[in-house]
Every structure is written in C-alpha cells, then in structure tokens.
Amino acid sequence: MTDLNSESLLTNRYRLMELIGRGAMGQVYRAEDVLLGGVIVAVKFLAQTLLTPRMRDRFRSEARTSALLSTKSMHIVRVMDYGVNDEGVPFYVMEYLQGHSLSEVITTQNLPLPRFLSIARQICQGLQCAHQGIAIDGSIYPIIHRDVKPSNILVSQDPSWGELVKILDFGIAKILQADANQTSSFMGTLAYSSPEQMEGKELDSRSDIYGLGVMLFEMLTGKMPLQAETHSFGSWYKTHHFQVPRSFESVNPNLKVPKVLESLVMSCLAKSANDRPQTVGEVLKALEPLEQRYNATRQISHRIGEALLRRPVAAPVRDPEALSPDEACQLTTWPQNKPIAQIVFPHVLKTKREEIATVWVMLPQQEIENIQLGKLYNKLYKNFLCCMSPHPMMLWMTALYNQLHHKKIGPRWLRCYLDLKAVEGRQIIRLLVERKQYYVLFFALEDPHHCAYVMPVTLNDAQLAQLQTWTVDSQTWRSIGKPTLSKDILKGEFEKLKLKITGDLENQ
C-alpha cells in the first residue's frame, strides 16, 4: 500500500493523510486533492488480498455505479475519480463525508418520529434512484444494492440542508440484465438479507425493500424484528423463511407508533416478495402523509436552524435587523407576481438593515441539489456586457459549470438585463459597486415557496470599474430606440462569446 509518510502523490494528484476506515473490500483514506487546492476527499483502495481479475472488475463496477448514481441523487455517495496506484492496486476517489453511520445513531439514541421519517424518506429516495437504473451503452440498467443496512447509511450535517443522508457501499450491487449469472453465490449481510437472497435467486428491487424493512424496524425500536439462534447461514436461512417478525408492542410496549407506519414496516418484511410493496416509490408514497402530519413545521424549523447554525445554543434569538445578507436571502419567498417557471430576474432585496443586489432563478430541484452538493467542483463565470445605443442596456451574465453534471449539456447560463435608464437598474449597479458582490438565489420548481440555496458571487476590481463607467455614461446618453433593440444586440454579442466562454470553463 502507498506509504503515507512519503511525499509522492497518488497519480500526481492525491496526498494520502490518514486511514479512516477498513472493511472486507478494502481501506479508506482521508486525502488532499492538491490539484484543486487541497480539497479533502476520501480514497478507497481494494484490499490486496482481493487482487483477482473478478474482484478488480467488481471494484471498478462499484466505482462506476456510484459515480453514475450520484449524479442523479444527493442521497448516494459521490464518486469523482478512479485509478490504479504504482503497486497495481485499484482505487476510487469519493467525497469526504463527516458524520455517523446510521448504526451508530440508532444505538446511541431513540429517533423522534419526525427525524425517523426524514431519514427514512432520504434512504428511500436514494434507493429509488438506484432501482430506476443507470444508462450504459444506451440502455437503462436497474441497480439492486443487495446490502441495505444501517452501517451502509451515513448521516451527516450539511450547513444548507440540515441532516443529510447518503447510501454507501455499492460493492456487491447487481446491475440487472448486465449479468445473467446471479445465482452463483450468496453475498450480503445475513441479518438483513431477504429470503430469496438467502436462496441465491435472481433478485429485484423487492429484495432491497425487505432489507429496508428490517432497518426501519430497527430504527424505530432499537431492536431487530427477527432473531436467529446462531449467527450462521443455516440459522438465518430458517429465520428469514419461517420466523414471524416481532410486533412493535412485543419489543417495546411503551412505543407510540402510528398503526399505518407499523403496517408499512411489517409489509416490507413479508416472506414473499409479492406481498411486499412492489417499489420503493410505494413506500415513499406511504411515508409522505406521515411526514406532513408529524413534521409540518420542518421547513420553517430548517430555515430558522440555518440562520442560527453558527451561534451558541444558549444565545438568544437575534433581532431580524441583525441577520447577515446570506441569512436574509435564505428567508425570502418567491414573488407572487412571478410565474412558477425556469426564469431569471434581477432584484433589490431590502432588509431592515441594508439593500442587497440579487439574481433570482428557478430551476428543477435536482439541478439545485447538484449545484449545491458539488459546490467544491463548480466553476463560476460572471461578467457584464453593455450597449449604449439605441438604448443604454446591460446584460448580466452568471454561468455555472460542473464536469459531473454539465459535461453533456454545457454550462447553466443565468442571464438577465438591466435598463441603465431605469431607477432599479441604476440602483442595482450602485449596490454591485458598493458591496463588490451579489447573491444568486435558487428556488425549486417543485417547492417554490422558499429559497433552496444561496450562492454569493464576488466581483473583481476591473468589473467594478467598468460598471462605474457605464453608469456615468448612461446618465448623459440619450435613448434613440426601444430597449428591446438593445437587448437583441446584447443577445447577439453573447452568442458570439458563448462558445469561447464554454471552452474556457471546460478547460480550467
């Protein structure tokens, strides 16, 4: 294995720092990505005892599966790179996550029902993404995890999302239809394996739902629904096939769980796959009204929590006038006079303390999640174009590019116009020059009633000087045509520059 004390870099890019995990498949190290200025990542190596062609292929498949799935769901650990070290040991690079496994969480504390529902929903959303499949050579292949258990679920605290749940370890996941030989051997964790998995049968998403049911029961009660006499394959085989799962009341008579939730969990534990929910989507549909009922104030609490995140717990609630610009932006709501659509517009955000130059944009929820969770790898472009004739007008451009999400479709362009003769246009430019920055406020199409993410953008001195010049010039410049004509001119100039800017972002 690579020497941690050496100054050499893994593939001239990653500096290993410390061992942070060890499992049956290999070791995980905390590392620095020196190419990106010391960004902390996690590097997983295949165990040297498993360096066979078959295990190499499985390890590479795990990396590919996680990389593809993580572009579709924020609830699956993100893989960014794959390679082989000088000793011939394969590795892949993933995001470094600080948190606790779900097994640690549920062994140290009882989960309040709202928290249980939030964690369960996020797990289901990740599994649903896997079951919907990934595209390989033009075909869609569903992914069955085959090892759904608390130790493969990580719970972390994200400054923007609050408690964030991610599914780990697709090391024994099966790509359906990509390999017809699924009955050769048992792979999984005995206590969480479905009856059909114990038999070595061909599996589908309902096998993961069984493991999910075992885990949900454990999350709610702190106990396992099934108990084998010994920890052997034969004993667990009989247990999963013939033992009736314990009821919630028999495990904990004082536990107060809605009957509909208990029925849902028990249905996931059905011996026959046909008697379980047939898709994770059905489980999500059943959880949704429960979460709405028991966690109706989750969004409000989450937003308040964001504003108070960096303050001591004992500190008094701050006066609204003392909120930072970022906090003020997060507490905004989408204007009633704007359509629920993918639009971009400038706006002066006024608080009791100050005024802020902002750009408001509405995008699909998944795209906002990709932008937010990939922020360490986002490449940002911001600039302005101006046209004084026939009417003083400015094009305000912001572009985001992330190789993981935008490689095929190109940068996400956020463009809006400022009329330099209008009061609001001049006011926004004044704020840009004074504050030397602006904020992009992202709102989700699926949930437009509150701000999903705030991104501050800093301007350089050259841009600030240019804005000042344009502001002064526009005061004396006489308009000789319609503003729309100037917009058309600016749009044409943008199209000329677009290809070069895109190339620069891709090659940075």
Question: Virtual CA dihedral for 19, 22, 26, 29, nearest 10 degrees?
Answer: -20
As a whole number of angstroms, the distance between CA 39 and CA 46 comes to 23
Q: What pLDDT, on the 0 to 100 scale, is given for residue 309?
A: 42
Contacts 24+ apart (CB under 8 A), 373-379: 373/74, 373/78, 374/78, 374/402, 374/404, 374/405, 375/455, 376/36, 376/39, 377/36, 377/80, 377/402, 377/403, 377/404, 378/402, 379/505, 379/508
Per-residue pLDDT at 305 exceeds 60: no
Q: Which of 3, 81, 137, 147 is catalytic?
A: 147
Residue 234 token pair: 């034969």
Most confident of 294-303, 346-355, 411-420: 411-420
The answer to whether 275 is a known catalytic residue is: no
pLDDT above 70 as % of the chain: 86
Average pLDDT over every residue of 239-257: 91
Domain limits of the chain? 1-96, 98-313, 324-507
What would the pLDDT profile of 343-385 be if each residue is shown by its tens digit? 999 999 987 778 899 999 999 888 888 887 766 667 889 999 9
Whole-angstrom distance, CA of residue 94 vs CA of residue 153? 15
Do 360 and 453 contact (CB within 8 A), yes or no? no
| Mean predicted confidence (pLDDT) in 134-156 | 85
Contacts of 457 (CB under 8 A, 6+ apart): 380, 382, 398, 437, 438, 439, 440
Is 223 flagged in the annotation as binding? no
Q: Give alpha helix (H) positions in 150-223.
A: 195-198, 205-221
* Arch. (CATH architecture) of 1-96: 2-Layer Sandwich (3.30)
Query: Exposure string (b/e) for 246-285, b if CB count within 10 Å is 16 or more?
Result: bebeebeeeeeeeeebbebbbbbbbbebeebbebbbbbbe
**Number of helices (H), then strands (E), in the chain:** 16, 19
Q: Which of 269, 243, 302, 251 is nearest to 118 (CA)?
A: 302
Q: Give 250-279 pLDDT, tens digit per residue.
A: 998 888 889 999 999 999 999 999 999 999
Q: Tokens at residue 135, please?
A: 């595209």
Average pLDDT in the chain: 84
d(CA 437, CA 380) in angstroms, rounded, equals: 14
Determine the Cα–Cα distance for residues 298 and 292; give it in Å rounded to an integer: 9
Q: Return the SS3 of 165.
A: strand
Is residue 119 within a helix (H) or strand (E), and if so which, with residue range?
helix 113-132
pLDDT of residue 212: 96
Do 206 and 193 contact (CB within 8 A), yes or no?
no
Q: Given this model, what pLDDT does residue 300 score?
A: 45
What's the token pair of residue 311? 């303050």
For the cut 90, the answer to whether the pLDDT of residue 179 exceeds it is: no
Q: Identify the architecture of domain 98-313 in CATH.
A: Orthogonal Bundle (1.10)
Q: Please tell me the pTM assigned to this model.
A: 0.58
Q: What are phi and psi of 111, to 5 degrees?
A: -85, 120
Residue 178: its pLDDT value, please? 44
Query: Which distant-in-sequence residues (6+ apart) come within 8 Å of 36 by Cβ?
Result: 376, 377
